[in-house]
Amino acid sequence: MNTENFVKIIDALHQEEVIAYPTEAVFGLGCDPDSHIAVNKLLFLKKRNQEKGFILVASSLAQLKNYINYKIINKNKLRKIFLNRYRFITWLIPPKNTIAPWLIGNNQLLAVRISMFFPIIKICKMFGKPLISTSANLSGEVPAKTSREVYKKFGKKIIILDYPVGVYQNPSEIRNIFNNNIIRKG
């Protein structure tokens, strides 16, 4: 994978743009989770309602320190995130009360995933923080599985990282960290 492609992706993130990148199962759209400008662009592109909230994807738990309310989660629960990071799981966890409201929407918990997928790890490490991760599609449509499909849906409106998606067939499983209940099967 060409480093120049990653540099373009990181530049776009710093310029408050929306990017498309491969995830473990489908192409994702992402942006700086703290940029209201970037999030509004993403919502407009997807025709998505802000009230749904978003998933944050990170390369490590440390990247999520500004978003997670550590006073509510004990260390065993945090270890659970690490122990299961090799599985494709998004966890619903308590957010800090200082995070941007669009991250949780009308929900009380924040959705986070620590990825072990190379493109996501590299983007997050180069960017220095997590990304918003939502499927590359218009709301309600089938997510794109290739960079070509992303281009057909969105054209030149976004920078696309051309790399294959991972091996999973379905979006990530979503679980509540407090009771381990499955909210969405993977």
pLDDT at 151: 95
pLDDT digits (tens, 9 = 90+) for 89-103: 899 999 999 999 999
pLDDT at 16: 98
What CATH number is given to the structural domain containing 175? 3.90.870.10
What pLDDT band is residue 86 in, cutting at 50, 70 and 90? low
Tell me what the pLDDT averaged over the chain comes to: 91
Q: Residue 117 class from Cβ within 10 Å (0-12 exposed, 13-18 middle, 19+ buried)?
A: buried
DSSP letter at 90 equals E
pLDDT at 2: 64
What stretch of H or E contains 148?
helix 147-154
Domain span holding position 79: 3-184
pLDDT digits (tens, 9 = 90+) for 133-186: 999 999 889 999 999 999 999 988 899 999 999 999 888 889 998 887 888 786
pLDDT digits (tens, 9 = 90+) for 101-112: 999 999 999 999
pLDDT digits (tens, 9 = 90+) for 36-82: 999 999 999 999 888 899 999 999 989 999 999 988 887 777 777 76
pLDDT at 146: 96
Q: How many domains is the chain built from?
A: 1
Among 135, 87, 94, residue whose Cα is nearest residue 113: 87
In one-letter notation, the amino acid at residue 157 is: K
Distances (CA, A) of 13 to 79, 86, 172: 30, 26, 23
Q: Are 78 and 63 in contact (CB under 8 A)?
A: no
